[in-house]
Amino acid sequence: MAMRAAKLDAYRSLTEQIHGIQIQGETTIGEAVLTSDKLASALRGLIVGARTVKRDQ
C-alpha cells in the first residue's frame, strides 16, 4: 500500500509540474474580524508513458 501511495503522489506531483494547479480562495470578514478563510486546489491532467526508474527497498 505504501508503494502504491508513493506512486500516486509522484503522478500527482508530475501532473502539477506539467499541467499546473488551480487554487481558489475565499475570505469572509464580518465586523472587522476574520470569520471564514477557505482554500481549495484542483488538479486535472493525463500522464501517459511515465515509468518508475528507481525503487529503493
Task: Give long-range contacts, CB 8 A cutoff, 24+ apart: 45-54.
Answer: 45/15, 45/18, 45/19, 47/11, 47/14, 47/15, 47/18, 50/11, 50/14, 52/7
Which pTM was predicted?
0.58
Percent over 70 (pLDDT), the chain: 98
Question: What mean pLDDT is predicted for residues 25-54?
Answer: 87
Question: What mean pLDDT is predicted for residues 22-30?
Answer: 89
Q: What is the mean pLDDT of the chain?
A: 86
pLDDT tens digits, residue range 2-16? 888 888 888 888 888
